[in-house]
């Protein structure tokens, strides 16, 4: 595990747990999305599941999303996958 991976894991978990301790769910989503978009999607899904268990099922209009943080992690993974296919060229041009 590289030093940058350790920092990403630590900061993502710190953001997600701070969003839970200070009842501010966008901060938790930011932590999950940081882990997902940096390529640690398994860690993000696990963190999302833990946050879903801690927060419980949402109420109101969004009550049909039983696992919103996990869904956010999976949507972030899909966005990163298709974004990397679109933006990262596997065969860069040698000459202009």
**pTM (global) more than 0.85:** no
d(C-alpha 72, C-alpha 56), whole Å: 15
pLDDT, tens digit, 9 for 90 and up, residues 47-93: 999 988 888 877 777 677 788 889 999 999 999 998 888 876 666 66
* Rounded Cα gap, residues 1 and 29, in angstroms: 24
Give the start-to-end residue ranges of the domains of the chain. Answer: 3-87
d(CA 83, CA 51): 26
């Amino acid at each position: 595990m590289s030093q940058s991976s350790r920092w990403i894991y630590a900061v993502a978990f710190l953001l997600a747990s701070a969003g839970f301790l200070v009842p501010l769910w966008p901060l938790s989503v930011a932590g999950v999305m940081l882990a997902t978009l940096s390529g640690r999607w398994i860690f993000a899904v696990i963190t999302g599941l833990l946050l879903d268990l801690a927060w419980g099922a949402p109420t109101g209009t969004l009550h049909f999303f039983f696992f919103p943080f996990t869904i956010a992690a999976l949507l972030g993974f899909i966005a990163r996958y298709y974004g990397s296919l679109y933006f990262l060229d596997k065969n860069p041009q040698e000459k202009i």
